[in-house]
């Protein structure tokens, strides 16, 4: 079984509850990312997404950029453990319409994140590998016919 730990992004960009939305927005833009885990002492306490900023009218609004991340973030987001099966995580994301799943140890320590983009990359790799196998089989069949 492929687990979330085999697949997750470990090099995380995070924010704290007290950080302002201007910083969070900058981190999202600079990192080319859409999800920011919110941590307190390395433990997950929330999740701030690009969509959260847009929904709350914060994105680019000068007066609102000083507000704290805690005012907009999703508290106690659904998270998975590193040993969770990748297929289970994918189904959870599809069924609940999540763009990401934070990955936490049992004590809440944030250790990674799995995103839609990670699954697209994985699917592209699988399709590429299947294409290579298919071409090899066809070449072998052609060689056998000669």
Q: How many domains, in total, are found in the chain?
A: 1
pLDDT confidence of residue 140: 81
Mean pLDDT (whole number) for 89-111: 97
Cα 70 to Cα 75: distance, rounded to the nearest angstrom: 8
In contact, 25 and 68? CB cutoff 8 Å? no
Mean pLDDT (whole number) for 11-26: 95
Domain of residue 16 covers 4-145
Please state the pTM of the whole predicted model.
0.84
* Model pLDDT for residues 41-82, shown as the tens digit of each residue: 999 999 999 999 888 775 556 556 788 999 999 999 999 999
Q: What is the CATH number of the domain that holds 68?
A: 3.10.580.10
């Amino acid at each position: 079984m492929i687990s979330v730990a085999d697949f997750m992004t470990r090099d995380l960009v995070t924010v704290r509850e007290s950080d302002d939305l201007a910083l969070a927005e900058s981190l999202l833009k600079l990192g080319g990312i859409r999800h920011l885990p919110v941590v307190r002492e390395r433990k997950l306490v929330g999740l701030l997404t690009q969509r959260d900023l847009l929904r709350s009218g914060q994105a680019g609004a000068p007066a609102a950029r000083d507000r704290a991340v805690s005012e907009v973030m999703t508290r106690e987001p659904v998270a998975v453990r590193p040993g969770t099966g990748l297929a289970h995580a994918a189904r959870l994301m599809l069924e609940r319409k999540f763009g990401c799943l934070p990955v936490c140890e049992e004590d809440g320590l944030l250790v990674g994140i799995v995103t839609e983009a990670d699954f697209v990359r994985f699917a592209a790799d699988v399709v590429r590998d299947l294409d290579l196998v298919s071409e090899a089989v066809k070449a072998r069949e052609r060689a056998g016919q000669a």
